[in-house]
Amino acid sequence: MPEIKLAIDAMGGDNGPSIVIEALAQQLHECSSHHFFVVGQSDSLTPLLQQHGLHEHPQVTLINAEQVVHMDDKPGQALRSKPNSSMSVALELLSKGEADAVISGGNTGALMAKAYFQLKTLPGVLRPALMAALPNQQGGRSYLLDLGANASCDSETLFQFGVMGSVAAQVLENAPSPKVALLNMGEEEIKGNDVVKNAALRLTESEHVNYQGFVEGNHLFSGKADVIVCDGFVGNIALKSCEGLATLIVEQLKSALMSHWMYRWFFRFLQKRTQKSWERLKPDHYNGASLIGLRGVVIKSHGSANAKAFGSAIRQAIIEAQAQLPERIKDRVESVLLEQH
Amino acid sequence: MPEIKLAIDAMGGDNGPSIVIEALAQQLHECSSHHFFVVGQSDSLTPLLQQHGLHEHPQVTLINAEQVVHMDDKPGQALRSKPNSSMSVALELLSKGEADAVISGGNTGALMAKAYFQLKTLPGVLRPALMAALPNQQGGRSYLLDLGANASCDSETLFQFGVMGSVAAQVLENAPSPKVALLNMGEEEIKGNDVVKNAALRLTESEHVNYQGFVEGNHLFSGKADVIVCDGFVGNIALKSCEGLATLIVEQLKSALMSHWMYRWFFRFLQKRTQKSWERLKPDHYNGASLIGLRGVVIKSHGSANAKAFGSAIRQAIIEAQAQLPERIKDRVESVLLEQH
């Protein structure tokens, strides 16, 4: 596998640089062939790198960037007033070809705006999309996009998301012909609004997508489709609603289990014995949403990620960069555009 | 409490009339003052009523309706070609004032179309909405609407949903000033599409709604808002996505727990001891979505409801009819319309 150069925005995320450097230290043990640009305020980062024995590590280069994009900065403001932020400098390394991928746990809106502005979309791609993997009942993963890069989409954009998602599932899951579906409020052709209906027509016509039709929300986790497409408004709300429900269930389960010593004891026992099957469902395991459709690999780590979860985002970046996902998407979009003419 | 006359579409739902009559038998023990019109094919229903000792029960009247709306009928077809269906005849009893509420577990699209056509909306109400209660982390309930009556909505319609949901939460939860929020892909004012942004402006201006701003999907279950408003496309997908996640978690939990006799034994023990706190989360408990904004109480039971869940839908219908929810909504909408002029 080729050596990958990763640019890490070390200042992003709710937990700041400490978890980023901790994650890096963990990953360095596993990735002896890659190089890491750690981008951010050197005053904060140097002691952390020293603490983990990474200060003069041959695989690590510290790149100073004085500005920090905060979690509550408005995307437009961050774009205009913070050109020297760790986020912008990391993206610059990517756009100049000095890095192969960027990972950031920072402000999602700012990351999307800066990545769009600094990298631009691939030729023919209308809009980038935020995509994440979800565990499914078949024991595999399904990819959902868009998760919030676009508040509204026209049908051509949804169609392109189907194409891009299909390439991503092929590359990341070794699926020869991933099943692509549109998320809708019913499975019948007459259901939904004009945008999804027209997107369905476009997907049905294309030879480059194995289109399966509409799926409802309950199929996000069923494995009925490998790629599920919707606009960013719907995708964001669907995913966050699930987050909300998971929190409610965990809270309820905890309060039931913690009410008696015997439950607590049993729970720990059960947890150990069934760890493998649960591991698959843990959000840590799925951290690392991909901003696809751009001229480079950009991975968004969850703001609240711990070091283990941030490590998943780093691995996701390495996989996408090694597979040259942007180039693969570019090739497919080209074929699709040729098909139309 | 006044006597309520309920018209039950006995032919709807995946499990057919048997669960409807079983639910009725259970409810009759608790509702000695109400009257039930059981609407459907008398050939199927008579033996079931006899079996439960309800055949000549003074509180039960069997109304024959030969046609049945099937779960896969198209709404438009059902509307045009099945005027003598159990669903239509039940709605007719309501529109004529012979019944105070309708309950159906049948085809949602057909029920919405027929209810809209046969009952019409309340004066000034643009569109009806499907609304359901969700359990929240505060131990209470939040109301989500629209769940799929409208594939897309303009901002005035979303504003009205906020008004109607607010009245519903006041009446059903005895909340003096329910907190109303719009579901969006972010909490900041600049987030989302023009429709939610304009709906937010309308809600902020109105004195008739305690508007709190935008909430994200993770707040569906947090209790941050008592009423959460979105269009039917988003609401349907959000709720069904949660259904999908719940199924995945339950499947995973079952397979972990059933893998060893000791887990099974402990699970049963735990289930008994913590029944009360789980009971609150069970879908059975929340069965019965309200189609509000119409000139009458219409309750949609989940297609896969068992007798216990169908019983919840019956109780929901009684509560809304006793509280005269449609009249209360009518009064509030009138005040809102006056405010605008």
User: Cα-flanking dihedrals φ and ψ of residue B307, to 5°?
Assistant: -60, -40
A245 touches chain B (CB under 8 A): yes
pLDDT for residue A340 = 74
Alpha-carbon gap, residue A118 to A105, rounded angstroms = 18
Q: What is the pLDDT of residues A60-87, one digit of tens each?
A: 999 999 999 998 898 999 999 999 999 9
Across the range B276-295, mean pLDDT stands at 77
Least confident of A176-180, B175-179, B285-289, B305-309: B285-289
Across the range B117-146, mean pLDDT stands at 95
A24 touches chain B (CB under 8 A): no
B1-124+293-324 and B126-292 share one fold: yes
pLDDT for residue A166 = 97
pLDDT for residue A287 = 86
pLDDT for residue A92 = 98
- The residue among A189 and A164 whose pLDDT is bigger is A164
Fold of the B126-292 domain: Isopropylmalate Dehydrogenase (3.40.718)
User: Cα-flanking dihedrals φ and ψ of residue A282, to 5°?
Assistant: -65, 135
Across the range B39-64, mean pLDDT stands at 96
Q: Tell how strand B179-183 and strand B101-104 pair up.
A: unpaired
C-alpha distances out from residue A84 to A37, A95, A103, B171, B239, Å:
15, 15, 17, 55, 42
B230 touches chain A (CB under 8 A): yes
pLDDT for residue B123 = 95
B135 touches chain A (CB under 8 A): yes
Alpha-carbon gap, residue A124 to B225, rounded angstroms = 42
CATH code at B1-124+293-324: 3.40.718.10
Residues 37-76 of A with CB under 8 A from B: 74
Please give the distance of CA A321 from its chain centroid, rounded to a whole number. Answer: 13
B136 touches chain A (CB under 8 A): yes
* DSSP-assigned letters across all residues of B13-78: STT-HHHHHHHHHHHHHH-TT-EEEEEE-HHHHHHHHHHTT-TT-TTEEEEE--B---TTS-HHHH
Does residue A341 carry a pLDDT above 80?
Answer: no
Does residue A130 carry a pLDDT above 80?
Answer: yes
Residue B237 and residue A243: Cβ atoms within 8 Å?
no
Look at residue A223 and give its three-state secondary structure. coil
**Which of B243, B275, B266, B271 has its CA nearest to residue A274?**
B266
Looking at this predicted complex, what is its ipTM? Answer: 0.89
* Domain residue extents for chain A: 1-125+293-324, 126-286
C-beta separation of B309 from B289 below 8 A: no
pLDDT for residue B169 = 97
C-beta separation of A241 from B218 below 8 A: yes
Residue of B nearest to A224 (CA): B244
Q: What is the pLDDT of residues B242-284, one digit of tens each?
A: 989 988 888 877 777 776 776 777 777 766 766 666 666 666 6
- Chain B residues whose CB is inside 8 A of the A241 CB are 217-218, 220, 238-239, 241-242
Nearest to A221 among B222, B245, B266 (CB): B245
Across the range B87-106, mean pLDDT stands at 97
pLDDT for residue B273 = 65
Across the range A21-41, mean pLDDT stands at 92
Diameter of chain B measured on Cα atoms? 69
Residues 166-225 of B with CB under 8 A from A: 183-186, 188, 190-193, 216-222
- Tokens linked to B153: 């909505």
**Which of A113, A240, A50 has its CA nearest to residue B190?**
A113
Fold of the A126-286 domain: Isopropylmalate Dehydrogenase (3.40.718)
Ordered strands of the A297-300 beta sheet: A60-64, A35-40, A5-9, A101-104, A297-300, A289-292, A129-135, A141-145, A227-229, A179-183, A210-215
Does residue A51 carry a pLDDT above 80?
Answer: yes
Q: Which residues have a Cβ under 8 Å from the Cβ of A99 and sit 6 or more positions away?
A: A5, A6, A7, A37, A90, A93
Q: What is the pLDDT of residues B169-187, one digit of tens each?
A: 999 999 999 999 999 998 8
Q: Give the architecture (CATH level 2) of A1-125+293-324.
A: 3-Layer(aba) Sandwich (3.40)
Within a 10 A sphere around the Cβ of A258, how many other Cβ atoms? 11
Q: What is the pLDDT of residues A73-126, one digit of tens each?
A: 989 999 999 999 999 999 999 999 999 999 999 999 999 999 999 999 999 999
Which of A231-240, A259-268, B260-269 holds the top average pLDDT? A231-240
C-beta separation of A149 from A160 below 8 A: no
Residue A241 and residue B246: Cβ atoms within 8 Å?
no
Residue type, A112: M
- Tokens linked to B183: 């579901």
Nearest to A240 among B151, B216, B257 (CB): B216
What whole-number percentage of chain A has pLDDT above 90? Answer: 74
C-beta separation of A218 from A208 below 8 A: no
* Residue recorded with tokens 């201006």: B205
Burial status of residue B284 (CB atoms within 10 A of its CB: 0-12, 13-18, 19 or more): middle
- The residue among B275 and A297 whose pLDDT is bigger is A297
Alpha-carbon gap, residue A87 to A39, rounded angstroms = 8
Across the range B317-334, mean pLDDT stands at 96
Residue B220 C-alpha, separation from nearest chain A C-alpha, in angstroms = 6
Residue B244 and residue A220: Cβ atoms within 8 Å?
yes
Residue of B nearest to A257 (CA): B270
Q: Would you state the torsion angle of the CA atoms of residues B275, B280, B282, B286, taken in this order, to the nearest 10 degrees?
A: 150
DSSP state letter for A259: T
pLDDT for residue B251 = 82
Instruction: Assign A304 a pLDDT band (cuts: 50, 70, 90).
Output: confident
C-beta separation of A294 from A116 below 8 A: yes
Residue B236 and residue A216: Cβ atoms within 8 Å?
yes
Q: Would you state the torsion angle of the CA atoms of residues B75, B76, B79, B81, taken in this order, to the nearest 10 degrees?
A: -110
Q: Which residues have a Cβ under 8 Å from the Cβ of A299 and sit 6 or more positions away?
A: A101, A102, A103, A104, A288, A289, A290, A291, A313, A314, A316, A317, A320
Residue A185 and residue B233: Cβ atoms within 8 Å?
yes
**Which of B132, B34, B110 has its CA nearest to residue B24?**
B34
A338 touches chain B (CB under 8 A): no
Alpha-carbon gap, residue B286 to B291, rounded angstroms = 15
Instruction: Assign A15 a pLDDT band (cuts: 50, 70, 90).
Output: confident
* Residue recorded with tokens 């009684």: B318
C-beta separation of A113 from A196 below 8 A: no
Alpha-carbon gap, residue B84 to B81, rounded angstroms = 9
Look at residue B80 and give its three-state secondary structure. helix
C-beta separation of A179 from A225 below 8 A: yes
